[in-house]
Structure 1
């Protein structure tokens, strides 16, 4: 056999969780040119210039992919979070409650994005999705969601300064606010900044279909204490007009080949969104990797439809646990018992990605896994931990349309890794937040080392 090309980096003396189709494990891994070149038997790739890292019994797994994280907002606000100081029993405040812009100029935008990269590196996050940047927020009160933020991402990516891979959904309405069909259609005709392969990719658009139940702004079949049932955030004089406009926006984006992420929390909203996506798919064929964002009150019949339609669900377990009392206050305990049906989604084979929505709450995915296990109410097991870890690694890569080159540790794939002090499969989910992140590697480069 020919002598293998020497690796740039070799990890040895620990456990490597590949999360490939067979869930194989190894004791070493070799990296060259930013890609994995060997899983197991990596010592054969050690050359005179290879950096060799002794894991000392630690565990390497694919880099964490936070599939719904507001990077610029996180970088500007951290270590504060939106709900970190909210009194118990109060609903989620709007992002527009900020007193003055958090970032006001190009220097501030760059600083916020770079800070988000530092935060991600310390947590083992190697990819994340910015779910909503665009002209709809160019005059927004925080300065964290406008077109200039996307332009700054593009500049940093071109300069090679991003510390995590970023996927972006464009936003043509207001964050947590109304969307105009005309503005949406106009926005789709504009070209996003040029992608930087494997570092910055604009995959589609985000639509705010409704609000959230605690704010009495999710559109639902139930009644809030004041007798209302919420409404769609799309422009229109009456419910049928708003529904028709939402359907038209979804059809337009789908026909143009864009991925669509829809913020939809009320059961009535979710039914309309999935109907509209199904109609678009039936008429124009599959396109993009569409998904529901949050899906608080997703009904069981809708869950049944999602796998066949290829529609995913992006949920935030920490938000579910934190805001459950607020949802109960808004809609009652009976509705709460059916909210965020993660177990049912898993059982039906729905493609479920778990994420943080930081800085609404912490970007620490270890807390997300602990919260998910608590919400599921299942006993701790290696099977459960694998499923929850895959929802933070493998499935988000699929959401990004990048499962062929990232999300698992296999030969030829991106060398994006998170190294933990302890094997997570040997830890109860409730104890995972106490397991330290030892090292983060992106594209074969160590970006954090505790």
Structure 2
């Protein structure tokens, strides 16, 4: 993290941006005209006149001419190492490809430190031009040490810590540990053994932090593998992924996993997509301490209003991907039917209930380009968000999820200078055109990591 204490004492700023639309994402969603950066921190935000006094002989001045400044984008659910390995291929593109299309390229398993580092650094190089300054690796650990890709094992956690210590990351990384298979089965004994026997690498303050654990509770509704209250159109209700002799035993094991992780002091992110799964997980999280450790539901494809109300009361977050509505909505409707779709990806209902909402990409499932996700969130016929809500869901609420909202996520004096500059005034831009808006600058910790 940047050094503290010096920025407020200097007579002039290192960099000043004036004449723009500065989305502060503070408590009042204030929009300012200008911003000053000093020693890696935001030293002032306000009108052009209020910031002009910080311009000195060595200050770089950027004339925004109406352009937008946003806090750095925080993709709060992005598989960075896997993205670095797969790019430019995306999983949903492969699923949508016609049968005659060329098969996906066979990729070499990441076996060596050099290969893992190359994938991580490639991801950060891809993300900087998109304005992404933080992201969460949602599942790295011994449960995937023998996995087919090599992108999710415990060695990847160590590579992140080492790269952060060497100052080679262009984005701040939060990680969750994984004690089962990615998108696969896990067992209560294996989970408990992981909690007890695995020691993650230590934090690199401001740059790398292992926040807690990820649990895969079920699959996904379009494939009929989510656990639903409503029956699928082909029959059945799906099931949990957690091992057990029957549904009752699997549910008890899942609840025990959540309780054990909570008792160990971990933040808990649960991949939960079916309506019965989301209800079960939220009940377990609320019973084990609620949102005090900023626990959250990952994906949350189907959530009933009663579950949203309990999430809000316990401050349990929802981390979901708006791009899935366009790419998987038709498949989901065909699998679960019209009645269940009333509760599909309820982002607006979640905010109305008071649920902390994060929007993310799940890349490389979808593109890491948040502009497409934002456009989807702003143009969805139902559950449409406002621009201010969408910006907050990509910046300040992910910082809350990271436990870092006191020092990043908004453009306020004293916080780290993580930001991006867009070539237009977003408030005056057709939401459908947002994917075409250029990111002209990305700054992390007061350092420019991308500029056109």
Residues 228-267 of structure 1 deviation map (CA, whole Å, 9 limit, x = unaligned): 3211111111111111110110001111111100000011
The one of 399, 415, 436 aligned to 1:434 = 436
Secondary structure (helix, strand or coil) at the match of 1:391 reads helix
Residue 399 of structure 2 is matched in structure 1 by: 397
Q: CA RMSD in A?
A: 2.0
SS of residue in 1 equivalent to 2:342: helix
* Structure 2 counterpart of 1:103: 110
Structure 2 residue runs without a partner (length 5+): 1-7
Is 1:351 aligned to 2:370, yes or no? no
The equivalent residue for 2:4 is none
Q: Deviations over 1:153-199 (max 9, x none)?
A: 00110000100111111111000001121221122232210101111
CA distance in 2, matches of 1:304, 1:355: 22
**Aligned partners of 2:25 and 2:236: how far apart in 1?**
46
Matched residues in 1 for 2:189 and 2:9: separation?
61
User: Deviation at 1:88?
Assistant: 7.0
Which of 75, 80, 98 is the equivalent residue of 1:66? Answer: 75
**Number of residue-to-residue matches in the alignment:** 437
Does the 8 Å contact 1:151/1:193 carry over to 2?
yes
| CA–CA separation in structure 2 for the residues paired with 1:211 and 1:376 | 26
Q: Secondary structure at the match of 1:210?
A: coil
SS in 2 for 1:235: coil
Q: CA deviation at 1:428?
A: 2.8
Q: Identify which of 125, 149, 154 aligns with 1:118.
A: 125
The residue matched to 1:83 in structure 2 has which SS?
helix
Distance 1:219-1:99 versus aligned 2 partners, 3 A rule? farther
TM-score by length of 1: 0.93
Residues 1:89 and 1:213: Cα distance change in structure 2 (over 3 Å): farther
CA contact (8 A) 2:36 2:51 kept: yes
Q: Which moved more, 1:63-72 or 1:79-88?
A: 79-88
Contact persistence 2:346–2:383 (CA under 8 A): no
TM-score, normalised by the number of residues in structure 2 = 0.92
C-alpha displacement at 1:43, in angstroms?
2.7
| Other-structure match for 2:26 | 20
Q: How many angstroms apart in 1 are the aligned matches of 2:232 and 2:31?
A: 50
The offset of 1:4, in angstroms, is 4.0
Given candidates 112, 120, 130, the residue that maps to 2:137 is 130
Alignment equivalent of 2:45, drawn from 39, 48, 65: 39
What residue number does 1:337 align with? 342
Partner of residue 217, structure 2:
209
Match of 1:7 in 2: 13
Q: Is the 8 A contact 1:164 1:199 kept in 2?
A: yes
Aligned to 2:447: 445
- Cα shift readout 1:377-406 (whole Å, capped 9, x = no counterpart): 377xxx811111111011111111111000
- Residues 167 and 200 of structure 1 are in contact (CA less than 8 Å); yes or no, is this contact kept in structure 2? yes
Q: Contact 1:307–1:350 (CA<8 Å) still a contact in 2?
A: yes
2:90 corresponds in structure 1 to 81
Shift of 1:217: 0.7
CA distance in 2, matches of 1:81, 1:286: 33
Q: Deviations over 1:393-435 (max 9, x none)?
A: 1111111111100011011001000100011112232121121
The partner residue of 2:314 within 273, 298, 309 is: 309
Q: For residues 37 and 256 of structure 1, do their structure 2 counterparts lie closer, same or farther at Cα, with a shift above 3 Å needed?
A: same
2:409 corresponding residue in structure 1: 407
Q: Tell me whether 202-211 or 333-342 shows the greater mean CA deviation.
A: 333-342
Provide the C-alpha distance between the structure 1 equivalents of 2:365 and 2:403, rounded to a whole number of angstroms.
26
Structure 2 Cα separation of the partners of residues 280 and 192 of structure 1? 23
> Contact 1:69–1:358 (CA<8 Å) still a contact in 2?
yes
1:55 aligns with 2:55: no
